[in-house]
Structure 1
């Protein structure tokens, strides 16, 4: 089988399913696993893949994600007669289902089941811990998750990041925003008064200096601003098991083993 992956998290998943040797193309943003992915040809970016080159590679399957990739690219590849596997998991349960589905497509069911079952087991433990905490009358941890600067942008309730953090017992102060990734002002952040403001490592690479900047602009205590691993919280697939636990940890709600 010859595979082209146009989504970084799916590229990593292919390797973890034991099918990395079948990859003949990947995007320039596909960087994991670093020790193996460099040997796979780059075929552009997630939004602007080199469609003609992909067709030349004659893949048996091209992997896409509805959010990462453009519909036009999928339609062009389908028109060229190339089989596609398109996914868009919205939460941990959807990710487990996607992993199993891709495992079936790549004849890697056992490896897929191991990852999917791990996602489900960790999710059950995290949800149980969140339920137990709620039963004591403790309020949820109110959070905001920022992904961009200039303009500042957050995540709404219609995102994978939201689903993982909500599952852990958090409450998104911008959950009801109309846009999936709403622009927010320092004034709006101050008014929302979250318990914690998570600054993602991607797509914008937030640093401690940006936390200092936001603390000054919002007047919120500096200790509320926490740098967060964006790959663990937004790469659905191989990283989701660890991401499920990390969501609880970054909110200070680490479940007991």
Structure 2
């Protein structure tokens, strides 16, 4: 007998009991499914689902987060597809609903992350494990903000050529705020483009160059330092600022080590 479930977008879907064949279209949520112990249940992932490495090497891949191959998904005969509003394309999500129920997350804050973990735990019959993760994340984030970060002006870049940064209404912005930083792009829309002159005018004390989605490297530090001689510039692990789910279990320790 089927029963109704509502996702984080308010969309209702109907499930036929606890899912036994799951396709995940979101790298961070794939890792969460692993940490919930769903080795047998997860049958398909994307080519960007690199954690855990064992799944990346062994699970069927259904394309990218924005280039899903419907025939591959259909061949796996899933009874649940897990997606995300920002990571996946709406038209593709709608088309996938003809194959199986699609549960979509919408995460803008650490609190949204906890709710996502709780709901996926309920969906998959792994609530006890989900609650352990939630309690640990609550404990970790209760130690923030970091005293030596309070009020420091920061810009967090996610792309180069064009330069793109994390603005307001993003998970990254919320994480920066919890650490204690003031995002110099807090009044900008989600992922604004800006040129070097605009970045100079913002006068960030700290410039964070993310490892993803653009792989910033040491050579980029030199480029930005020429234009921002008074700014401290650092390469950072983008996963620990932007991957919600259980990856956040490693975040606060990383922040303490990075900004000590």
TM-score (structure 2 length as normaliser): 0.88
Q: 1:61 to 1:139 in 2, by over 3 A?
A: closer
Question: 2:177 maps to what in 1?
Answer: 166
Question: 2:164 maps to what in 1?
Answer: 153
Mapping 1:222-237, distance limit 5 Å: 224-237=232-245
How far apart, CA to CA, are the structure 2 residues paired with 1:142 and 1:198? 11
Indicate yes or no: 2:114 matched with 1:96: yes
Give the structure with the larger helix fraction.
Answer: 1
Residues 123-174 of structure 1, C-alpha deviation per residue, up to 9 Å, x if partnerless?
12214x55xx7xxxx9601100001111111110111111011011110001
How far apart, CA to CA, are the structure 2 residues paired with 1:90 and 1:100? 16
* 2:192 aligned counterpart, secondary structure: coil
More deviation, 108-117/239-248: 239-248
* 1:89 aligned counterpart, secondary structure: coil
Indicate yes or no: 2:205 matched with 1:195: yes
Mapping 1:1-257, distance limit 5 Å: 1-80=20-99, 82-127=100-145, 140-178=151-189, 180-216=190-226, 218-221=227-230, 224-247=232-255, 249-250=257-258, 252=259
* 1:93 aligned counterpart, secondary structure: helix
Give the structure with the larger strand fraction.
Answer: 2
- 1:7, distance to aligned residue in structure 2 (A): 0.7
Q: Gaps spanning 5+ residues in structure 1: where? A: none
* 1:54 aligned counterpart, secondary structure: helix
- 1:70, distance to aligned residue in structure 2 (A): 0.6
The answer as to whether partners of 1:169 and 1:248 remain within 8 angstroms in 2 is no
Residues 42-85 of structure 1, C-alpha deviation per residue, up to 9 Å, x if partnerless?
111100101122122110110101100011111111133x1122
How far apart, CA to CA, are the structure 1 residues paired with 2:41 and 2:228? 52
The total of aligned residue pairs comes to 241
TM-score (structure 1 length as normaliser): 0.89
How far apart, CA to CA, are the structure 1 residues paired with 2:29 and 2:68? 15
Q: 1:91 to 1:150 in 2, by over 3 A?
A: same
How far apart, CA to CA, are the structure 2 residues paired with 1:92 and 1:139? 19
The answer as to whether partners of 2:184 and 2:202 remain within 8 angstroms in 1 is yes
How far apart, CA to CA, are the structure 2 residues paired with 1:248 and 1:126? 9
